[in-house]
Structure 1
Amino acid sequence: MARASVVPAGIARLPWGVLGLTLAIGSFGLVVLYSAAGGRMHPWALSQGIRFVVFLIAATFVSRVPERTWRSGALPAYGVLVVLLVVVEALGRVSGGSQRWISLGFFNLQPSELMKPAIVLAIARFYDMLPPSRTRVLASLLPAGLLIGVPAALIMLQPDLGTALMVSAGGVTIMFLAGVPLRLFGAAAIAMPIVGTLAFKFALHDYQRNRILIFLNPESDPRHAGYHITQSKIAIGSGGFWGKGFLNGSQSHLDYLPERHTDFALATMMEEWGFVGGCLLILGFMLIVRWGIRVGQRAQTRFARLAAAGLATTIFFYFAINMAMVMGLAPVVGVPLPLISFGGSAQMTVLLCIGILMSLDREGSRRNDSW
């Protein structure tokens, strides 16, 4: 009772365990970036820390948004982001051979990143509006397929294979959870080798095909196309069980490890913190995903159940794909490690997912209390 009289009810109801865990992972990410820069706050750790604080505060404000706002705004927000993806194709800023950003002066907006939670909310809203009896009807798959396929195709044009795959995976996950018949997923799995072969030959760029070929045999070109994954494996393996110790990573500090602060930040971390550090990081992310799944289980509406599970799965895809990529278990597709890798777009997206999950959790808790 004393706590309730001092702390406002809205603040007291926040999931402080999840916020604390998110803060711990984000802070550890700053430690990794500090080490990647050779023991300096510039050029990565300081700016990353400022963005992290801003986005984490924003997530707490997002948690105050009612569920009905997410439900009613899901499809309009999706439409706006599709328009922005078209704008990116026409006027977007080019960097590193890719055209993915809209320059806002003080910040470069990457609409494809925001599409990851937006596609989850849009497909959840579609199936929320659809009568449950229509979910298993074949004709109902076409609108959902278009909702997923249009942004995925626009993102592939940038080109950004990793983000296109994550957007597709997020939408398909909602379709699965909504009750689309398993036989259709089975048919898709059977057709996947044919579609994949055609995409490999006609849809992918040369560098994307090379990434897949190098994934299958990285030792075939260890000095060029296979250099990233080869050095990443060396860094992770040299860390051993306990790691070399903070600021003692030779692969990253001697510039053998490329992209040590972005896509391969996990390799930088595991060289210094070892297998134990990697396992603790995985545990932290899994606890966040577990909480997100439980938010869906507690939800009282179909939209909230689907959206919560989809957002939690989106966070899972982020760290699972990056970790598989860095360890050589998946092709290098440019998916960063959330809250660890340097960059504002992925950080913003993951904290937005957490903020929406807190909003759905607050709504579900309020309704449960009313019972």
Structure 2
Amino acid sequence: MSFAGLTSRTERGRLIDKVVQIDGVFCLALILIAVAGALMMFSIAGSSWEPWAANHITRFGVAFVLMAVLAVIDLRVWAAIAYPLYAISLILLVAVELVGDVRLGAQRWLDLGPLGSFQPSEIMKLGLVLALGRFYHGLSAERARLSWWLLVPAAMIGVPTLLVAHQPDLGTAMLLALTGLTVVILAGLSWKVIFAGAGLALASLPPFILFVLHDYQRQRILTFMNPESDPSGTGYHILQSKIALGSGGLLGKGYGLGSQSQLNFLPEKQTDFIFATLAEEFGFLGCMAVLFLYAAVIFMALRTASLAHSHFGRLTAAGVTSTFALYVLINGAMVMGMAPVVGVPMPLLSYGGSVMLTVMIGFGLVQSVRVHRYTEVTASKSSLI
């Protein structure tokens, strides 16, 4: 046997070993959530695979394969592309400000001609986590706790958050800010700074609402506080969602029998409010089953983060997981009337390709951390130390 043939066989063996190390239970939980979403889309489309369910399953299948491919990529490669990906994402966000498409009063998309359009803010969700993980990987614990170096991650989080908020896209801006803050806290930020920052945020909330938010965003908050004040206008979404949630009871009305969704009373029933559709047809127990799957995904991803030997691996896996958890918490609170409607979908359950692709790429990174958990990522000479 030639040396080249032996090398090729050895490389294939290593690749198979990496694929085998991908968490099967984690993958099964993701599949079950996506299948639950497809079943709900099939139901609300009048027992039809079109226009949502078939596309949802196809997109998930492609994204799942992509996740598996990304899982075998060495963690050091992720570290190498961290800063370039963040820089490219930032440039694209600036491009949105200059030449972005305007749809429904929001300038969030870049037109790629025959390839369609996309939202650079989705790329930034991953780019921010990777860049912060890379930054703190090369920073001492003392400087991560409290020092002037904190201005660097503050700028890394603040600039894209402000750009996205200006589009305007308050939901994604919230996700970027909260995800970035989570990574900074997990990196070892001093509790004095955390409490001081929380106090400052609460104090600045009223002027932020009064003078920074757009009129329609301010109206969403007022509607959230009293949706009954305009039941057929701005309060319609929340009220219909509450009706769907409450009418499902313990066991639900039955598959395909939800009146609010089937009769089109519930708006955005396949995207932002699909959880309310689930509650109406499968009740409290159905919702708890899906939430259990979400909790299992979050727990397994955080456990993967804890097993990583490198600081970069721990922070990036935890950052991706926090983004996923925030999706679930914000959408759940929004559907139940506990938070304003900000257009954040329920990940993998809701219809939509951009968020699904972002989530699955992120989980590809999480599984890469698992597969390469013993890999040491060294700080380069140019790192901030």
TM range (shorter): over 0.9
1:115 matched to which residue of 2?
Answer: 124
Give me the whole-angstrom Cα distance separating, in 2, the residues matched to 1:141 and 1:366. 27
Matches within 5 A, 1:103-142: 103-104=111-112, 105-142=114-151
- Per-residue CA deviations over 1:125-173 (Å, capped at 9, x if unaligned) read 1111112221123311111100000000110111000100100011100
Distance 1:50 1:102 in 2: 24
Aligned to 1:292: 301
Alignment of 1:315-354 (within 5 A): 315-354=324-363
TM superposition shift of 1:365: 5.5
- Secondary structure at the aligned position of 1:141 is classed as helix
Find the partner of 2:186 among 177, 180, 188. Answer: 177
CA–CA distance in 1 between the matches of 2:261 and 2:118? 29
CA distance, structure 2, for counterparts of residue 257 and residue 219 of structure 1: 16
Aligned residue for 1:277?
286
Q: Which residue of 2 aligns with 1:76?
A: 84
- Contact 1:117–1:353 (CA under 8 A) maintained in structure 2: yes
Alignment partners' CA distance in 2, 1:108 and 1:279: 36
Report the residue type matching 1:133 in the other structure: E
Q: Are residue 46 (structure 1) and residue 54 (structure 2) matched?
A: yes
Q: Give the AA of the match of 2:35.
A: S
Q: Which residue of 1 aligns with 2:246?
A: 237
Change (3 A) 1:107 1:34: farther
Distance in structure 2 (CA, Å) of the matches to 1:185 and 1:13: 37
| 2:199 aligned counterpart, secondary structure | helix
Q: Which consecutive unaligned segments of at least 5 residues does structure 1 have?
A: none
Structure 2 CA distance for aligned equivalents of residues 310 and 22 of structure 1:
18
Q: Which amino acid aligns with 1:62?
A: L
Amino acid at match of 1:100: R
Q: How many residues align?
A: 363
Does the 8 Å contact 1:117/1:314 carry over to 2?
Answer: no
Give a deviation string over 1:164-217, Cα, whole Å, max 9, x none: 010001110011011111111111111123321121112111110011111111
**Distance in 2, Cα, partners of 1:305 & 1:349:** 19
Question: Aligned letter for 2:331?
Answer: N
Q: Read off the aligned partner of 1:278 and give its amino acid letter.
A: C
Once structures 1 and 2 are overlaid, which stretch shifts more, 99-108 or 125-134? 99-108
* CA displacement, residues 259-297 of structure 1 (integer Å, 9 cap, x when unaligned): 111111111111111111111111101111101111111
* Aligned pair partner of 2:227 in 204, 218, 227: 218
1:280-337 Cα shifts (integer Å, max 9, x gaps):
1111011111011111111001111111111111110011110110001111111001
Find the residue that maps to 1:102 and give its secondary structure.
Answer: strand
Separation in 2, partners of 1:247, 1:36: 7
* 1:296–1:304 CA contact under 8 A, matched in 2: yes
Q: Which amino acid in structure 1 is aligned with residue 315 of structure 2?
A: L
Contact 1:67-1:360 within 8 A present in 2 as well: yes
**Contact preservation (8 Å) 1:152, 1:167:** yes
Cα deviation 1:9-59 (Å, max 9, x = unaligned): 233222111111111111111111111212211111122221111111111
Amino acid at match of 2:56: Q
Partner of 2:269: helix, strand, or coil? coil
Q: Is the 8 A contact 1:155 1:161 kept in 2?
A: yes
Match of 2:100 in 1: 92
Which residue of 238, 258, 274 maps to 1:265? 274
For residue 33 of structure 2, give the secondary structure of its aligned residue in structure 1.
helix
Unaligned runs of 5+ in 2: 1-12, 377-385
Match of 2:321 in 1: 312
The answer to whether the 8 Å contact 2:144/2:189 transfers is yes
Q: TM-score, normalised by structure 1?
A: 0.94
Contact 2:21–2:370 at 8 Å: present in 1 too?
A: no
TM-score, with structure 2 as normaliser? 0.91
